[in-house]
Amino acid sequence: MEEFRRCLERQERETNERNRRADEINELQRQVDEQVLIAVALQDEENQGRRRGSQVALQERCRKVFWYPSSSVVDYSRCGPYV
């Protein structure tokens, strides 16, 4: 009976150790995932700022180049799809 009890205790220790290691791995993976999400969000924010800036610049160029003062109409059709 004593041998059976020791066997159960050993199995419990081994199970606890496996669970502890799995928890550590899961926590590390969660941290990596969080860092990746932050990096992607920052990159997306930077890209949106660039796109927004280039769109505004394009609109300004179009207003200057394609302005028809006699009719007070701006022809954006020649400016591209981002106007």
Beta strands in 1-83 (DSSP E): 67-68, 73-74
Cβ atoms within 10 Å, residue 62: 19
- pTM of this prediction exceeds 0.75: no
pLDDT tens for each residue of 18-30 = 999 999 999 999 9
DSSP H helices, the chain, are 2-65
pLDDT for residue 38 is more than 80: yes
Instruction: List the domain boundaries for the chain.
Output: 2-78
Query: Looking at residue 55, what is its pLDDT?
Result: 67
